[in-house]
Structure 1
Amino acid sequence: MNMNQTLLLAGTSLLFGTSCANLSKSKSESSKPNIIYILADDMGYGDLGCYGQRIFETPNLDLMASQGIRFINHYTGSTVCAPSRCALLTGKHTGHSVVRGNKEIQPEGQMAMPAGTRTAAHFLQKAGYSTGCVGKWGLGYPGSESDPLNMGFDYFFGYNCQMKAHHYFPEYLWENDQKIFYPENSNGQQKMYSHDETTRKAFSFIKENKEKPFFLYLAYAIPHAELVIPEEYLAKYKGKFPENPFSGGHYGKQDYPRATYAAMISHLDSDVGKLNSLLKEYGLDENTIVMFASDNGPHVEGGNDPLFFESSGGLRGEKRSLYEGGIRTPFIVKWPGKIKSGEVSQHVSAFWDVLPTLCDMAGVKAPEDLDGISFYPELIGEKQKNHELLYWEFHGYTGDKQAIRKGKWKAVRNKIIRANMPIELYNLELDPFEQNDVSEQFPDMITEMKSLLDKTHVQSEDFPFEYEL
């Protein structure tokens, strides 16, 4: 063999080896499951048929639950928007996370997370995923260090500011770092409904990334107030309920608040159905994990009446409360071929578990300094590790609050305005609706819970309690 033949053989071997490596990498990436996490805004635990709703229908989410797993002990990150989403994306509960309440930044946006913050999107990018956030952000003002494009997302569309997301006919939305204006909504016109535009952009993201693994965080603003929806969607429910018209204010006037709330959730449900149909059309349904939850309990603004619909599912409290109705969410996960159909999970989990779970799904190592525990084993029927406890704190205009769930026990400390504020104690096994405070009967448990409440909280300069625990 002459020198040229030797070099040609070596070059061919190198090329073949490189091609095999690229092919192997391509096959490895394509085998990773796509992940879609859908987040409703202010939808209650009892607002889905599969969680007990009987006044309006949610057939598509009910179908999704029948095809996958439905969690009945899954908790939000907090009881209002921004801290709940911070816990979801960073894997840390509100005793350790940066954002622990809603804090507005003028003229647009919310308090930013520090530049070094690592979100679920960062880790999925590392695993080879295209990452998109479509909908509502609420975790940093435009251009800040925690603008979505600086927090691991390749693409962003929607409301950067959650206050702007109170209104569904905006004059502009953000696409990446540019404002997209909608003249058809100027001067009080109401023609472009932002929820529908959000759905269109989400579907476009799926289409554009269907040849490679993708992560879509689809953070809908529905059914947060204001209560408004185009007439074509409202017609189904209009006139079906006795109404208490809402006179307006920050949120717009609404003559049919109950019908509108039902229509908003029905419309959201319909779009979840369309999303699952789109995945099937593209041949992606067998290799796509679809998750659905809400960011906190049902709101009472804009004329909404959660008692009428039993939106909390019989649980005590609603948004801004640390009772179960404020922080327990419906949670559904569908993954054909991996998750058995019609499963119901009793596993106690929370938003800060989502990041390590997504890392497990994507085959990338999660950081070790998280509060979250992956519930991936629970999804696929393997032995699941449990939390020692779950912790929440909330800083807002209803007063600073704390809560802990440890096994069957739930402790709640409301309106922390001085040391030694009373701690309520509930046995969720016997009293899931938190009607009977048993703190006097179990003083030793109160002592333990007080110690846990004090030591699990790390003081924050931005969200301090009024006294040092």
Structure 2
Amino acid sequence: MLVAICLLAGLALRTDAAQPNVIVIMADDLGYADVGFQGCKDISTPNIDQLAKSGARFSQGYVTGCMCGPSRAGFITGRIQSTFGYYVNPAQPLDPKQGLPAGIKTVAHHMQQQGYVTGVVGKWHMGTADHQHPDAMGYSDWFGFLGGGLMYYPLDHPSYNGRYLTKEKPWSTRDMHHTLPMLHNGTPVEWNQYLTRELTEGGIRFIEKNRDQPFFLFMSYNAPHEYLEAPAITIAKYPPDSVSDVPGVPAKSRSIYAAMVDEMDQGIGRLMETLNKLDLADNTVVWFLSDHGGLKRTSDNGPLRGAKGSAYEGGLRVPFVVRWPEKVAPGTVLDHPVTSLDIGATSLALAGGNVKQTSLHGSDITSYMTGQSADAPHDVIYWHVGRSPQDLSGVMRDGDYKMLAKRGRVELFNIKDDPSESTDLAKAQPQRAKRMLVQWNEWNGSNAPPLWKQSGRKDYQYADYEWLKGTPHYQRTKEE
């Protein structure tokens, strides 16, 4: 009996050891060409480049939306966000209707069911009501902020001149998002350094705390999302006269943006150093991507057309890397289209779960990224980029062809031959364009009504959440 027990215990240990840790590092508003492995010349990204060099990069890596909220909702749930009604960014951060719906299952929930400890660090942007907090969405440990961004220094930083400590006049919606408190598991915490560095340390703490069990960590950096802020010492590395001349991007903005990307790269280097120090690197799958294309006034998305907010390649195709030592061959380039949804499905499969028994929309691409299969993971990929199912704006990839529907207008491109989408083939190939539009419309018929409707009003919001006490956003209810 004792021998049998020992054998079973050993089997359990081997099973746990076979489950790789997973870290997903997501940048915010990073340009397609703004990392070295994509050809960037003016910004130093040695640590991100090393991820690509030691793993695989996907030349056609896509996200599910061209704006922050919808794209992240797709990744977090592992489902195309229009199928559950998430079409636009939450404009009013304290409106409980705006964000993820109560009870929706996420990739983190699935990973928890496989015995993983789950954590998220950084930007959330999925709502601020109790049912929308990360702990209600499958994350057992979370450190970050609930809005769509955060100022890069604490609000009492001298550079802000007290502007964000009181509300003497109405703030913009973006200011409302960017001044919510930093939280750890729902409790406000003080912080006193550059935000990107603070988030990196939060990620390191999570890794160190959970080194002895399989973990799933979503490192959700805010950089290089505006506002443009970075330590002066890092900005000094990128004088305005030394940065690349990107059309439409002021040199001064490019200088600060470069420093923000640099700081994020340094943070990623520290995360990788932690994995090496704890002897976890070989059994950790690390993904890196942006949540969508770069912002037009800061980023370089070349040679792609479009930027953040656009359904052209520059809005949807992003730097996309996976590193898994001894499983993914170093320096691999994978040219078939993949999407951010595949990260969740692949992670669950590697954890031992059955993707086909879930509602996840991604594919398990393990065999593709490890070289066991050269087949394309997807025959067809759909996007909805309108504001509701009735807003017939969307995208469809079918092989090398991409169809864009824009409220009645249809464009068609051969992405293999024309990645910059310079030649519209809709008139030259009308039957293909029509067929793809019909197929997209059929798919769109199953999309859900919007979870909320955008209002033209920009009223300042207050709420009585405990975690808001001490901020200009807190206001007691009438009952109090």
Q: What are structure 2's unaligned runs of at least 5 residues? A: 156-180, 455-480
- Quick check: 282-291 or 376-385, which moved more? 376-385
Contact 1:101 1:463 in 2 (8 A): no
Match in the other structure for 1:340: 329
> What amino acid is the match of 1:408?
D
Structure 2 counterparts to residues 275-424 of structure 1, below 5 A: 275-300=271-296, 304-306=297-299, 311-366=300-355, 367-383=357-373, 384=375, 386-395=377-386, 401-414=393-406, 416=407, 421-424=408-411
Determine the C-alpha separation between the residues in 2 that align with 1:451 and 1:464.
27
> What amino acid is the match of 2:305?
R
Structure 2 counterparts to residues 427-438 of structure 1, below 5 A: 427-438=414-425
Note if 1:179 corresponds to 2:188.
Answer: yes
Distance 1:342 1:273, change over 3 A: same
Determine the C-alpha separation between the residues in 2 that align with 1:95 and 1:149.
23
Percent identity, please.
31
Q: Secondary structure at the match of 2:189?
A: strand
Indicate which of 15, 31, 34 corresponds to 2:21: 34
Indicate which of 37, 44, 63 corresponds to 1:50: 37
- RMSD across aligned C-alpha pairs, in angstroms? 2.4
Determine the C-alpha separation between the residues in 2 that align with 1:408 and 1:348.
9
Determine the C-alpha separation between the residues in 2 that align with 1:137 and 1:286.
29
Give the C-alpha shift of residue 169 in structure 1: 2.1
Give the C-alpha shift of residue 408 in structure 1: 1.0
Match in the other structure for 1:136: 123
Q: Secondary structure at the match of 2:83?
A: coil
Structure with bigger gyration radius: 1
Indicate which of 142, 149, 163 corresponds to 1:156: 142
Cα-to-partner distance string for 1:384-423 (whole Å, 9 max, x where unaligned): 45312111112459x8731111111111122x2xxxx110
> What amino acid is the match of 2:449?
E
Q: What are structure 1's unaligned runs of at least 5 residues? A: 1-12, 183-190, 245-253
Determine the C-alpha separation between the residues in 2 that align with 1:355 and 1:177.
25
> What amino acid is the match of 1:444?
Q
Cα-to-partner distance string for 1:12-65 (whole Å, 9 max, x where unaligned): x2x554454334323321331111100000102111111111122211111111
Note if 1:270 corresponds to 2:266.
Answer: yes
Give the C-alpha shift of residue 242 in structure 1: 7.4
Give the C-alpha shift of residue 210 in structure 1: 0.6
Contact 2:196 2:267 in 1 (8 A): no
Match in the other structure for 1:460: 448
Cα-to-partner distance string for 1:181-226 (whole Å, 9 max, x where unaligned): 44xxxxxxxx532211111110000000111111110000000001
Cα-to-partner distance string for 1:271-291 (whole Å, 9 max, x where unaligned): 111211111111111111111
Structure 2 counterparts to residues 52-131 of structure 1, below 5 A: 52-107=39-94, 111-131=98-118
Match in the other structure for 1:449: 436
Match in the other structure for 2:458: none
> What amino acid is the match of 2:396?
I
Determine the C-alpha separation between the residues in 1 that align with 2:453 and 2:363.
27
Give the C-alpha shift of residue 156 in structure 1: 0.6
Cα-to-partner distance string for 1:82-118 (whole Å, 9 max, x where unaligned): 1111111222224424322112344378823233321
Q: Secondary structure at the match of 2:80?
A: coil
Cα-to-partner distance string for 1:436-467 (whole Å, 9 max, x where unaligned): 1111111111211111221111343216999x
Distance 1:406 1:170, change over 3 A: farther
> What amino acid is the match of 1:320?
G
The alignment covers a number of residue pairs equal to: 420
Give the C-alpha shift of residue 166 in structure 1: 4.3
Cα-to-partner distance string for 1:298-345 (whole Å, 9 max, x where unaligned): 113xxx333xxxx21210000000000000011111111111111000
Q: Secondary structure at the match of 2:264?
A: helix
Determine the C-alpha separation between the residues in 1 that align with 2:97 and 2:200.
24
Contact 2:64 2:71 in 1 (8 A): yes
> What amino acid is the match of 1:140?
G
- Quick check: 130-139 or 55-64, which moved more? 55-64
Match in the other structure for 2:216: 215
Determine the C-alpha separation between the residues in 1 that align with 2:46 and 2:97.
35
Determine the C-alpha separation between the residues in 1 that align with 2:304 and 2:289.
17
Determine the C-alpha separation between the residues in 2 that align with 1:298 and 1:151.
27
Distance 1:243 1:289, change over 3 A: closer
> What amino acid is the match of 1:405?
R
Q: Secondary structure at the match of 1:445?
A: helix
Contact 2:97 2:451 in 1 (8 A): no
Distance 1:432 1:441, change over 3 A: same
> What amino acid is the match of 1:147?
H
Match in the other structure for 1:146: 132
Q: Report the TM-score, using the length of structure 1 for normalisation.
A: 0.84
